[in-house]
Each structure stands twice: as structure tokens, then as C-alpha cells.
Structure 1
Amino acid sequence: MHHPWLASLPLLFAASAAPAQSLPAMLPTPVAGVSLTADSEARWVDFTLTPGNQLRFTMLVNGSPAAAILDTGVSFSVASQRFVSAARLEVARAPAVRAEAIGGAVPISWVATRTLGFGGLQRSGGRFAVVDLKAVATGSAEPVEILVGSDILSCCALDIDFDASRFRLLPSGRLPFQGATAPLSVGPRSKVFISEVTIGDKTLRPLIVDTGDGSSLTLSRAAWALSGANPQAVTTAVAFGLGGQIETELAILPSARLGTQPLSNVEVRIEGKGGFSDLTRTSGRIGSGLLQRYRVLLDPRAGRMVTAPGKAVDQQPVRSTSGLLIGYDNGRLRVLHVMRGGPAAATGWRAGDQICTVDGAPIPPINAGGSVDTGWSAGTPGRTVELGLCNGTQRRLTLRQFY
């Protein structure tokens, strides 16, 4: 089970410190060196969802396999420092550059590639930004090596079939299925996929459409205020971006709209003033936590996003009933954040507390998906969980719904 409120936020950034160029809103410039094979429509790429809700798959870089994340929220595709070292790629000597990232600015360098490919897409030449990619960004113990960004993906139409855990690249203009539509473009400054969401009678734009973001919907403080939303309760959460940890507020909206697609029970994160949305001059992000309810076609060259309901369209958001946001740490569970208004906050829990047993049982090992079972933290309200701290003390936590 994926827990969007436990997921890390994306490793996305707008890698341009220079003034934005004036680009057509609905027609990005051609993607140099990128082409599709004649049979690209038949070349589906299988993916797995990480515990952080990102789409993980295998691609080829210079003929060698690499673990990758499909990330339309990255303006330039990224290679990890570890991958670059292991593949013995030569980092370009250039002046130091810093990029805007969730959690703060980060240093980047550049490396040239000969070829890359996945599905029916092939690229000759080109380059990756080189960044220190940490495993925490996918919510699992397994790091990734590549983030495939909009500099590559804007070439084509991206058809994501979440129910079948596969995607493919198609020539722009293809419409492989019918569904609701929303506008889609490439942002002139951020260079990433851009759309909009309507809450009540307020349409919020621009929003980054970010397959690398495991959350559902993230809004800036200003966009949240403009929406006029008034949920029953608002709590807090933390997430991790390339620049470090951030704290957001968290609420559930009963309804919204993505173009002509009605949305229900949408989990919303609200970023503080001066957060990543403010830095990128956007109203927020639409993440894979929301997109995975649908089959999705992203075609910025045609100016549209198409969504058709999938099996999970009516799925309720997973809500914490413990008020603890936790991460796996060498056989222990470490408290990353205590959510405002939750049962843990009322019983003295603190960030940094370490849990060694749950109901008398030791913490299970990480499973094949790279995560550990923490389903008890979103368990049935009224259940009491016995938690053994690693310092030898015992605590009882009675679960309840609080947002």
C-alpha cells in the first residue's frame, strides 16, 4: 500500500538561473537528438510504483541499463553522481551552477551522453545534469540513477496506463483513448509540463504536472487562499526534496476539477510562503498520487492532457490515524514528523524518536518493493498500538481520524 502522506516530494527543479526565454506557450521547441521508432506505439515500458509513488523503470544509457524515474517535473534530465562515477562518465568542467529545488538550491554539474533509450524513444548526444540523488526521494532503500525530465519527454505524447503499470511514447497528436481534457503546455520559465486545477469557482494556474511527485496536489499559500477552500481540518506533514526537508500543511478536499475531469477526495499539501512554488512562480503541482487514479495522456505539443478513470478513481486517500510520519532507518522506524492535531502530538511524541517494536514484534525487514510495512500507522480508528521505543520505554497510541 502506498501512503501519499508518507511519500517524499519530487526531486524536481527548474535548472535555469538565467532570465526565462520567450517560448510559445503551447508548442515547445524541437527536442534535439530525440526520435521515435516506427513501432513506438507497440513498445510499452513496464514500471513499478516506488513507495513514494514515482514511476520506476529500466532504460539504457550508452548501452547499459540504468534505474530511472519518469519525471515531467524536472526541466533537465538528471543523472546521479554515483551513476556517473560508476559509468566513468566525464563531468564537464564549467563554472558552478545552482538550481532551484524543493528544500533549497543545489549545486549541479553536467555530463555528456552518447545514446539513451526506452520504449520507442531514442536520443543521440545530449547531456544530463549531475546531482546527488538520495534514495529518500523515492521513499525506499533503493536509489535511482536517472530522472527522465521534460527536456526529453516534451518531444512526444506520453501515454501512462497506471492500471497496467506501463507507459509508452507516441507521436504528438495521437489520441489512443477518449477522456476528459485539460490544457497542457511547457512553462516558459520552468521548462516543465504546466496545467491547471479548479477548486470551487477558482481556476488555479500555472500548476506543474509532475509525474515525479508522489503527492496528489500541492498548492502555494497564495493559491490555497485564492481557492477559498475550507476543509474540516488541516494538519501538517513533511516531505523531502533535492534541497532537503520541508514542512507543509495537509488537508483533504471533497471535490475539485482537472479540466473537464471531476475529482473527489483530493489530498492537498499547502506550501509555506517562499516555498518551491513561489520560487518557480507557479501555483503548485499535480503529482502522481492524483494522476494514478486515471489513464493519462500528456501531450504538450498538442496542448492537452487527457484523463480517463482507472480502477482507483474512487479510492479514498490513505489518512494517518497515528499522527506519526515515519521512515525506515537500519532496522528501526524513525519519527520524521509529528502531525498537528493528531493522537501522537497529544501524547508527547517528538521527531527523532525511534521505534524498535510494534505490538511486541520487531520491525520487519524491507520488502521486495524497497519499503517496510507501516500499515498500522493508518489503521482503524479506535485501535490501540503498543510501540516499543529503542531506548527501552513502551508507549500506547490510540488511533483516531483527525483530518
Structure 2
Amino acid sequence: MHKFNIIFMRNYLLHLKSKSFITLLITPIISVLIFAGIGGLVASSSQNFDDYQFAVVGDSSVKSELVSKDKDSIDTSIKSESTAKKELKKDNIDGYIKVSKENNQYKVNFVGSISLDSDVKTDLLAIVNKKQSELNVKISNVTSEQYKKLSVKPSFKSSITNKEKKQNTDQTSNANTSSIYVLIFISYFFILIYASIMSTTIAKEKGTKISEIIFSSVSPSTYFSGKVGAVIALMSTQMAIYCGVGVFTYFILNMYPFFNSLFTSQHVLISTFIGNIFSINLLFIFIGFVIAIVLAAICGSLSANVEGAAKSSQPLVFLIAVIFGFSFSFINNGASDPIILQVGSYIPLFSSFFMPIRLINHNANLFEGIVSLLIAIAFIAFVTYKFSNVYKLFMLNNEEGTFFKRIRSSLNNK
């Protein structure tokens, strides 16, 4: 274990301090910070941004007080309920509030395409409650009935059309599609990047006496596990940093009224998107990374030298590109679950792309996802164990030739 820790930390710190990793790490962060800065400028110049427009009809005293508190959210040009209905139908307003008084009780009825803005609702109920209390005291006598009359509360009724339900459904659908795209692109680009890092790292020691010296004091399985573990830790470090930056950016943007209102209006989309990403789907991305890194290590060990690492990894790159291309044909087919997608969702590496699509589209359940993960983990354990036994042979073989010829040549020297 001590030798593994030394190999692991040496390779991890070596990658962590490299200029290529630092560039790879900070480039997206700088892009995010630039976006946040632009967002701040937009927010500061959007002081008159209004999310909602409502009309108030009926009791004039309630309307005048409400307008004095929420003038920007209320269309004062609408005087009657009939006009309000027409404007709502044309989508010129988001809803209207009708305030009436019947049998010494204030009644508030809201009709809209979306829910009444929470600030407007709070101010409205405060005004009506106050007026109801004044009315209760006015009509009450000093009798036992006084307490009953004082306990009368205003009535509030809200009718929401199907438009808001449709908006929520549309937001969920958009979030599902967006999260699938994000997962696929993250898997594809990060797998390619780290597969290249892994194959190059392994290939650097080909054609030198370093491998012979190392294998004389460290078992091939320990050395291989340490180098692969270091790259996996490097990838995990980068993802953890990105998650931290993402959370930090969200809270910074949420301090601006513009983005706060935007996040509130799109809360279904945002919560669904985050739920799709930070779930079992994230495990599929991670497992896909590990599989690709292990396979890339095999490709790197089969190269004749570091210059041939890219050529040796071509079969893996081609396979990943094929999976990536296939994934796009299944993104917008949420209602269908083709057999190729079902089968592929249980095949290691394919499953890292296919199973999240099925899970997000509700074509597979959590149990099926766990089964797929277990198969992928078993595949990693099997390949790692088998390859560890022949890793030394592959590393010490420097013969040129095709991919399969080098495999044959290495195994013949066993």
C-alpha cells in the first residue's frame, strides 16, 4: 500500500502542477466569471424590469392602496372586469384581481394565466384584512355576537388556467433535453481529454529503461493502479472545482434582482435540470471516465513510444465518437425506447451515454440504472485485473506494427 501511495501522489501532483492541466482548469472558469460580470452589468441596467402585470377591478379604495404599494405590477388603465378578461385573453396581462364586498365581507377573486405574484398577494391581503377588521368593528355591537363578527375573515379565491401547468410541463421537458445534452457533452469531451492524458502518461515510459527499473521493485499491478488512480483523482478534482464554482456563481448571480426574478420564474426548469445532473446520472459519467481511462492506459502501453500514443488510442477514440454520435439520435425520442438503446444501456462505456437518456426520459427505473452501474463496475474490475497481469509485458515490448500485432507480440513474449 505504501508503494501505491507513493506512485499515486507522485503522478497526481505531477499532473496537478502541469501547465496543460492548469490551462484546462481555468479556461472554463474564466468564461463563467466573464458571463457573471456581463450578467451583473445587465442586472444593474435593468432597474425597471417587471416580471408580472395584473389589473385590479372592483373596490376603488383597495385598488388605490394596492397601486400605491405595487404600482409597477399593476395596470391602472383597466377599470372593469370585462376589459380585464379581454386583456387577459390577449395575454396583455397575467391576471386580474376582483375585490368586492358582500354581506359585510370583503371577497377577493384572482383569475390569471400564472400564480399571483407573492409580493402583490402579501400587500393585497394585508390591505383587505385591515379593511375587514375596520368593517367588523364598525358593525359589531357590545354583545356576545361581537366576537363572531370580529372573527370574519376576507375570502380569497384563485383560479389558474392550464397555461401555467403547460409552462411547467414545457420547462420540465426543456430541462430534460438540456440535461441530456450536457451529460453527453461532458462525457464525450472529458473522456477524450483524460483518455489522451492517460495514454500519453503511460506511453512516455515506453522505449526507456525506466519501466525495467520500476518493475524490478514494484509489481506491475501496483504501478498500473497508482497511475490510473492518479488520473481519476485529477479528473475528480477538476469536477469538484467546477461544481464549487458553479454553486458560487449561482449565489452571486442570485444577488441581482434581474437574475433572482429569472431564477424564480424558471425554478421548475432549474430544479429539474440540477436533479437530472446530480443524481445517479453523475455516477454513470464517472464510471464512463474510469472505463475510458483504463482502456486508454491499455492503448498507451501498446504504443511503441510516446509519439505513437495517439495512433494506439485511435480505436478507443473511434469507439467513443461512434457512441457519441448514436446518443444524439435518441435524445428527442423520449416517448420511444428502441431496442438498441435498451441493450446499449447495459454495455459498459455505452451505458454511460445511453442509460442517463433512458433514466431522464423515464424509460428506465432506478433499479435498472443500478444494475447497469454494477455491470460497468464489474467490467472495470475484470479488465483491470486481467490487464495488470500482462501490463509488464506490454510496457517492455517496443516493437512496431498494427494495434493487434503489438498485442500478439506482447503476449508471445510471456
In proportion to residue count, which structure has more helix?
2
Same fold, TM exceeding 0.5? no
- Scaled to the shorter chain, the TM-score interval is under 0.3
Point out the structure with the larger strand share. Answer: 1
Give me the TM-score of the superposition, normalised by structure 1. Answer: 0.23
